[in-house]
Structure 1
């Protein structure tokens, strides 16, 4: 009886999943469609005469851009963790004066549009000489990830029992040693969560890249895709093939890390 009453929920769930995944299917469909077939009206919903020219172009043209995006993503993760983890620990356990105000400012910082921030970064980078540089993009992308990281670390580390921290202090550990050797290891899930979102933000960034690195020698894949957009013609299969290839790292990370994000932080951390 229960199965009969809930079958419609399963069907509804499948419909919603199909709607959400349809753009992914269409990207793959167009990436395999020949240029002459793209002009069909209505367009083909299945690549009857598939071509891999778009993926060949990606391998020939976009590998440097993919490498640049990977470097920017990893750099953003490293810089975000270095700043946000100690800051989250300080807010959660050291409780400095003005911590509540700082939390509010971090929330406000996440509401600022990227376009507004990009304009400010451009004015600053012109003076610093950081335009068209990978390091400049790493710093810019980190400004979005760091406030989120601090809030996540604070929430995770606030749940760490005080007994664990006090035990480390009784053993003679300094504040920094307690953070490195005790708090950070049991905050693995927070580290993975912040790292995942920081990488995805940097990997998919377009606003900062188009504003701060448009004429650089090393451009991310979000700008490299413009190589297939011309004044008179647009290579749609190459564009969609680039989008499909660029989506693979993000999809793999989401699948691998999802079970850690929802996991407990301090399970088994306290010794009897």
Structure 2
């Protein structure tokens, strides 16, 4: 068994977070949950990190919960069981609310919590060999911790089907559902991820964080006067920042902005 459940590599403003429990298809247990949560929190606080890529070693992206871990929790007292569930929920929250752009690189099975990871990331790039599922009902449980992120990704109507049937979802179908943003052959996966990363690195980091906060503020809300005022205040505030002044000046002067690598 791997002694370290997670590897983090940094290069040129990009952090690569790699789940390294290949022998169990990167299934979650206490150690991987803690390592992922700490890793994403640490990277979120690192000003040198511009984008985070989440990947898995071995044949699978992540097969979801380690059933031995789940069995241990089912036998635990309620309070201990609840505390453990809170830690899992906190992991998905940490990924989804990272101020940095996050990309899931999915090359194989992304089942249960693995589909949750792909959904919690901002962008999902998958190989045609990838397969997804919310498989929890097969084990007499529900996809509770991942539900806000999967429903956000594929919508309530589709989630109603897949949460109950636990059917396998092909990469093509996941793309049709809106979970997968970019679909490619396995040998083109890294190149596809690199293209998305390059696009992200061209944007202003503070603007990207503000864009994510904007989506959370306005999504699924009626367009009331309060929402209109909020959007006006957000752009007015951002326009006055040094990053925005630099971005506008760089465009008018036909040069790369200061945050672009090498400039």
Same structural fold, with TM-score higher than 0.5 when normalized by the shorter chain: no
Structure with bigger helix share is 1
Per the normalisation by structure 2, the TM-score is: 0.26
Per the normalisation by structure 1, the TM-score is: 0.25
Kindly name which structure, 1 or 2, has the bigger radius of gyration based on alpha carbons.
Answer: 1
Structure with bigger strand share is 2
Q: Which has the higher contact order (CA 8 A, sep 6+)?
A: 1
